[in-house]
Amino acid sequence: MSEPAAASRSSDRLGWRRTLLALGNRKMGFMAIFGFASGLPFALFLGTLYAWLSEAGVDLETMGVFSLIGLAYAFQFLWSPLLDRVDLPVMRTLGKRKQWIVTAQVLLGVILVTLSALDPRTQLGWFSLLAAIGAFASATQDIVINAWRIDVADEDAPIDLLSTVYQMGYRMASLAGGALGLILAARIGWPQTYLAMGVILLAIGIAGLFAPDAEASAPSAEEEDALLALRQKGELTPQVRLRAMLMVGALWGGALVSVIAFMVLSMTAAPADRPDPTAFIATAGPLIVIATIVLPALIAGWLVSQQRKGRNVLVEDLHHEAHGSPVVDQLYRALLLPLVEFVGRLGWSLVLIIALVLTYRICDAIWGTFAYPFYLGYLKYTNDEVAIASKFFGVGAIVLGLALGGGLLGWLGRMPTLLLGAVLASVTNLLYADLAAGGAHMAAVSNALGVTRLVEALGGEPRLATLMVTIGAENLATGIAGAAYIAWLSSIVAKGYSAVQYALLSSLTLLVGTLGRGALGQMIEQQGYYAMFIFVTWIGLIGIVLTCLEWWRQAHQQRRAGREQKSA
Instruction: For residue 105, name the pLDDT band (cuts at 50, 70, 90).
Output: very high
- Lowest-pLDDT choice from 72-76, 198-202, 449-453, 479-483: 72-76
**Using an 8 Å Cβ cutoff, are 142 and 6 in contact?**
no
- Lowest-pLDDT choice from 269-283, 364-378, 536-550: 269-283
Instruction: For residue 5, name the pLDDT band (cuts at 50, 70, 90).
Output: very low
Residue 325's pLDDT is: 65
The conformation of residue 492, written as its DSSP 8-state character, comes to: T
Query: Buried (b) or exposed (e) across 71-99, using 16+ Cβ within 10 A?
Result: bbbbbbbbbbbebbbeeeeeeeebbbbbb
231 phi and psi, to 5 degrees? Answer: -110, 15
For residues 383 and 398, give the distance between their C-alpha atoms in angstroms, rounded to a whole number. 20
* pLDDT, average across residues 253-281: 75
* pLDDT, average across residues 72-80: 80
Residue 319's pLDDT is: 67
pLDDT in tens, 352-389: 998 898 888 877 766 766 777 788 888 888 878 887 88
Residue 33's pLDDT is: 95
Crossing angle (nearest 10°) for helices 349-360 and 414-427:
40
- Lowest-pLDDT choice from 112-116, 297-301, 380-384: 380-384
pLDDT in tens, 224-266: 666 777 788 888 888 898 899 899 889 988 888 887 888 777 7
Crossing angle (nearest 10°) for helices 462-491 and 349-360:
160
Average pLDDT of the chain, as a whole number:
83
**Using an 8 Å Cβ cutoff, are 173 and 35 in contact?**
yes
Residue 299's pLDDT is: 92
Instruction: For residue 14, name the pLDDT band (cuts at 50, 70, 90).
Output: low
**Using an 8 Å Cβ cutoff, are 62 and 121 in contact?**
no
* CA-to-CA separations, 503 to 59, 74, 275, 489, in angstroms, rounded: 34, 9, 27, 10
* CB within 8 Å of 443: residues ≥ 6 apart: 452, 462, 463, 465, 466
- 421 versus 561: the higher-pLDDT residue is 421
- 170 versus 51: the higher-pLDDT residue is 170
Residue 7's pLDDT is: 40
- 14 versus 161: the higher-pLDDT residue is 161
- Lowest-pLDDT choice from 125-139, 260-274, 419-433: 260-274
**Using an 8 Å Cβ cutoff, are 409 and 160 in contact?**
yes
Residue 546's pLDDT is: 95
* pLDDT, average across residues 218-223: 52
**Using an 8 Å Cβ cutoff, are 385 and 464 in contact?**
yes
- Lowest-pLDDT choice from 121-130, 182-191, 223-232, 402-411: 223-232
Instruction: For residue 4, name the pLDDT band (cuts at 50, 70, 90).
Output: very low
Instruction: Kindly tell me if the per-residue pLDDT of 341 is higher than 60.
Output: yes
Instruction: Kindly tell me if the per-residue pLDDT of 45 is higher than 70.
Output: yes
Instruction: Kindly tell me if the per-residue pLDDT of 215 is higher than 70.
Output: no
Residue 216's pLDDT is: 46
Instruction: Kindly tell me if the per-residue pLDDT of 291 is higher than 70.
Output: yes
- 368 versus 179: the higher-pLDDT residue is 179
What is the percent of the chain where pLDDT is above 90?
29
pLDDT in tens, 477-534: 999 999 999 999 988 888 778 888 888 888 777 666 665 666 676 788 888 889 989 9
Torsion of CA 98, 101, 103, 108, to 10 degrees: -160
- Lowest-pLDDT choice from 193-207, 361-375, 428-442: 361-375
CA–centroid distance for 381 within its chain: 31
Residue 9's pLDDT is: 40
Torsional sign, CA 176, 177, 183, 188: positive
Instruction: For residue 472, name the pLDDT band (cuts at 50, 70, 90).
Output: very high
CB-based burial label for 277 (10 Å; 0-12, 13-18, 19+): middle
CA angle centred on 155, ends 150 and 159, rounded to 5°: 30
Residue 530's pLDDT is: 92
- First-residue to last-residue Cα distance in the chain: 21
**pTM (two decimals):** 0.80
Residue 61's pLDDT is: 62
Instruction: Kindly tell me if the per-residue pLDDT of 446 is higher than 50.
Output: yes
Residue 460's pLDDT is: 85
